[in-house]
Structure 1
Amino acid sequence: MRFESELLAFCQYLNRVMGLSDNTVRAYRADVDEFLHLMDLRGVDSLTHVRIEDLRSWMAHESKSHSRSTLARKSVSIRRFFAFLYDRGLIDHDPAATLATPHIPEYLPQVLSEDQAVQLMDTASSEYRQKQDTDHKNLSTVEKKHSCVQKTALALRNRAMVELLYATGIRVAELTALDLDSWDSDNRTVRVMGKGSKERVVPFGVPALKAVEAWVSEGRPVLVHEKQTTGGVQVERALFLGAHGRRIGQRQVRQVVHQLAQEANLPSISPHALRHSAATHLLDGGADLREVQEMLGHSSLRTTQRYTHVSIDQLRERYDLSFPRA
């Protein structure tokens, strides 16, 4: 494709110099590639010939099939691409310098109340106990017993995942990327690789500690054995495994959280709702905003403020303290 060398150089810059994550680089590459393909179809033979009108025309076309948040990302991708070219003298002007970013309305994130969070954790624990009770019964066949043992292991895993998600506020991608050596039970911390390959250490509480320890000692070996008996050779170092003994995927984690929420008679939530809930409950408990920022791995405090909000009860309490005669 025409302009392939410019696109490749841009992606290398994003990855090696800016330290953006692979997922972000792929998204930026796809955005820029779409635009460059359109310019190629229009017969543009040099990026110096691209005008702001071309960019606005492309954005208008994209707005017909994409949300405002996607359009905002696309505009950022294009602005960074042309700024990169201009800074390196590959074009004599930056046509994207005045390209506007679509306004994105801000919504309060979905957050569980503290009682709802407890209800979700209790449901995950009761699921494990139910599977364990079935496992201890006299089963008529080896196949049935094996199936129940595996279900018990999966229930242990599910409980450990939701406890850890809520206790630490980590992203689902960060959870699935955890290895066994990421986990430090002595210090009650987990080492997380966040966006842009930025590593941070996040503390957690006793409930998460007990849940993960039970999973690692009792549940995980069952799924490791499952992989070995089905032809798997390399022992997976991932902390959390799927039913076949391989590193669990983000989609599987989302399904687990959704299913547990349904069983707990809670609103349909995603793992990210547990992240929001953890941050909000920390703030309600008196945690400093910058401490929460560090825990969540946000580079900007403004991002933390958008992802979290103080509960109405906490707001009323502070209002009453500030205005005793209110």
Structure 2
Amino acid sequence: MTYFEPKRNITIYEAIEDYINEKEAIGSLSQSSVENRRYELNRFAKFCKSHSLEEPANIHKNMIISYLKDQNISKASKLGIMYVLIGFMDYLVDEELILDNVASTIRKPKIYPPKADYLTFEELEQVYQSEAQNASRKMVDRNLLLFSLFTDLCLRVSEVVNLKIEDVRLDAQEIWVTRKRNKTDNIPLNDDIVNKFLNWYAIRSEYKGNESPWVFLSSHGKQLKRRQVHYIVSQALGRANIIKRKQGPHLLRHSGASLKARAGENLIMIQYLLGHENLNTTRRYLHFEWDELREMVGRSPEFGK
């Protein structure tokens, strides 16, 4: 048996705080991720303490397995906890507080994700028509523009709510979008979206706080928030009698990308609209119907005749 002497004598709780403080200092986690990780790790530390284990060097594989078995949660949630523990134990190895990352050696549960939801062209048309007929005069142009930025340009919610007036160049028919990690991309606009911007700007002047730099305003004249956009989209889907597992703006973004792919558009261009760095991420947005697959096989040339 290999003898191991930790570099420092600290408790699991102290190691967790050191780990979280390092993540916060380098900015590798969002604030919500920091709190979630702290919560999960402290819950693990409490379980260890209840079994008279208080120092990182004494954490063993069976203790982690017992902790996971003790959690009455789904396989997907257990997998999430495992990745949190693996990340924490990587830190412990780097800090020479443990010898090996035993969490990484535990077999991970197999997860079979459900078939992704997306809207057909007819369903999207239903959403737009319902919104045009039911939204109030002051909201309808704003909401239809929001929907088009999700479906036509496949933007993320954060990218839309953080659009500033100066980012929109209607004369050049393009917008400048701030992506993840503060990367900026320019995206062309079609005539329909330009007209939707003009319609929204015309009614936006009636809003309280219309001098705000943000393109999209709430009914109170404040910058529109992500949760408010989620509510707007989910309400529109409900009024159109469309019920999916996820009722938010990501469904529109996902659907827009899927429709473009099914129409035969260039995947690299779809990847650019989505703001994905890896094409494999874009592939998750692509779907087909069985009849379409059958038709494609039917179009195959006949060889050897």
Indicate yes or no: 2:77 matched with 1:93: no
Specify which of 102, 106, 114 is matched with residue 107 of structure 1.
Answer: 114
Q: Give the 3 Å change call, closer, same or farther, for CA 126–278 of structure 1 in structure 2.
A: same
Structure (1 or 2) with the greater helix fraction: 1
One-letter amino acid matched to 1:27: N
CA contact (8 A) 1:75 1:100 kept: no
Return the offset for 1:165: 1.2
Structure 1 portions without partners, runs of 5+: 129-150, 227-234
Return the offset for 1:105: 1.1
CA RMSD after TM alignment:
3.0
Indicate yes or no: 2:174 matched with 1:188: yes
Partner of 1:135: none
Specify which of 291, 294, 303 is matched with residue 316 of structure 1.
Answer: 294
Q: State the TM-score, normalizing by the size of structure 1.
A: 0.76
Partner of 1:138: none
Q: How does 1:213-292 map to 2 (within 5 A)?
A: 213-215=198-200, 217-225=201-209, 236-268=212-244, 269-292=247-270
Q: Give the 3 Å change call, closer, same or farther, for CA 59–238 of structure 1 in structure 2.
A: farther
CA contact (8 A) 2:209 2:222 kept: no
Q: Deviations over 1:87-126 (max 9, x none)?
A: 2323222221213332221222111111221232233333
Q: Deviations over 1:130-177 (max 9, x none)?
A: xxxxxxxxxxxxxxxxxxxxx422222211111111112223343333
Q: Distance in 2 between matches of 1:287 and 1:83?
A: 42
Give the count of matched residue pairs.
Answer: 291
Q: Deviations over 1:249-298 (max 9, x none)?
A: 33322221122223333335321211211111111122233432332233
Specify which of 73, 83, 87 is matched with residue 76 of structure 1.
Answer: 83
Q: Distance in 2 between matches of 1:317 and 1:218?
A: 47
SS at match of 2:106: coil
Structure 2 portions without partners, runs of 5+: 1-9
One-letter amino acid matched to 2:59: V
Return the offset for 1:86: 0.8
Q: Deviations over 1:20-59 (max 9, x none)?
A: 4444444333322322333344443311111111211222
Identity of matched residues, %: 22
Specify which of 190, 206, 209 is matched with residue 205 of structure 1.
Answer: 190
Indicate yes or no: 2:164 matched with 1:179: yes
Partner of 1:155: 140
